[in-house]
Structure 1
Amino acid sequence: MMRHRITVRSRAIAALAALMLSGCVSLGGGEPPESLLTLTPTATAPTGSGSGARTGGEAGAGAIAVMTPEAPAKLDVLRVPVTVSATEIAYLKDAYWVDKPARLLRRLLGETLRTRTDALVIDTDDSPTEPEVKLRGTLLDMGYDAPSRSAVVRFEAIRTTAEGGAVSRRFEATESGIPAEASAVGPALNRAANRVAADVADWIAGES
């Protein structure tokens, strides 16, 4: 009787482990996408260039930290959302990001800031110092608007300082006349995101 109980228990544990594994690993199913979308900066800091925080003051003076933006549920995925109507959202066929949009925008903002400011820009979670300025905010939209056939990027930026000051500003860029195809929407979103990143960098530089 005891051996039977142990056997049943062992089978139950094995079944539970298999169930947990099946939720993490795909054992077949849909084909992987042929290509993945990403955001590529139109301008990059030259090789060998560098910057540092100002010396002679508090640690982190002159440094800017770019935080990962918050994002609504529709953007917290690897798909490109399509606004069908005021109350309906779909996803663009065959369009997949290489990483979540908020993280892609963070890296784009960081690289753009490096090309437009002399500050030490930190766009990773591993910060060597407490920065003087932090750029955070919410990625409100990075997708396709079907009624207007437009690619839209909308970002609510918040600039905070070590002294406790905070100021916000909304940025938006639109690419119109874009067909609802991944091969067209991806590059359009990249252009729009670069315009937003440039405007944000100029704003941060002007406030500093």
Structure 2
Amino acid sequence: MSPMLRLAAPIALAISLTACAGLLGGGGKAPPWLLTLTPQSPAPDSIARTAKAGEAVMIELPLVPKEIRTNRVPVHSGPIAIAYVQDLTWVDTPDKLFQDLLTETVTRVTNRVVLDPKQSSLDPGMTITGSLSRFGYDAQEGMVVVRYDAAKTRAGANAVETRRFEARESADGTAASVAPAINAAANRVAIDVAQWVGN
């Protein structure tokens, strides 16, 4: 290996590690573990489905406010104060985690064919869009709150259906209690949305 390549390799490694640290919370040491959302609906033994034209479902990435567009969990204390739960870091941002959870839950709970938005050319069918406006801990209530305002449209239809879904779970503000509570609340919302989609 040439002297130049020997010098470049450690520099490239250092840059990549610094970038990873930034993604995991920025600046400080990497967290001991990362959290994700886990579907709680029973998984069918096998999935083999066929959808007629216009029957497939696509679930778009939800819109999120700035305090949720991070891999940390916000703590709301009053109408304007926001902090973050200590030692609690998601493996990805909540909008992507919730989209994945909702996609899997609709697949498990309904008999519908669920397509990735990148597959929209296959069958526009039904599209679910929405806004994930709350996905964190409310310190005044001592509750985790997950709120999803959904919109359901069908290809060629002249109407849009909207509905708000919300779930709350008790927690004490620590990572050990907030993590399972937010997973449970997100699953309750996902199941309610799946039942709405299946109708």
TM-score bracket, shorter-length normalisation: 0.7 to 0.9
1:92 corresponds to which of 78, 85, 95 = 85
Distance (whole Å) between structure 2 residues aligned to residue 138 and residue 161 of structure 1? 18
Matches of residues 131-146 of structure 1 in structure 2 within 5 Å?
131-146=124-139
Measured after TM superposition, the shift of residue 47 of structure 1 is 4.4
1:167 corresponds to which of 161, 172, 194 = 161
- 1:83–1:146 Cα contact (<8 Å) kept: yes
Matches of residues 91-170 of structure 1 in structure 2 within 5 Å?
91-123=84-116, 125-127=118-120, 129-164=122-157, 165-170=159-164
Distance (whole Å) between structure 2 residues aligned to residue 29 and residue 69 of structure 1? 28
Measured after TM superposition, the shift of residue 203 of structure 1 is 1.1
Structure 1 runs (4+) greater than 6 angstroms displaced:
none
Matches of residues 76-87 of structure 1 in structure 2 within 5 Å?
76-87=69-80
Q: Match of 1:199? A: 192
Question: Can you give the 5+ residue segments of structure 1 that lack an aligned partner in the other structure?
Answer: 1-17
Which of the two has higher C-alpha Rg? 1
- 2:21–2:30 Cα contact (<8 Å) kept: no
Cα deviation 1:95-145 (Å, max 9, x = unaligned): 111111011111111111112211111245344613310001000111000
Q: 1:49 to 1:26 in 2, by over 3 A?
A: closer
Matched residue type, 1:39: L
Q: 1:135 to 1:26 in 2, by over 3 A?
A: closer
1:74 aligned onto 2:67? yes
Measured after TM superposition, the shift of residue 44 of structure 1 is 4.5
% identity of equivalent residues: 41
Q: What RMSD over aligned residues (CA atoms) do the two structures have, in Å?
A: 2.3
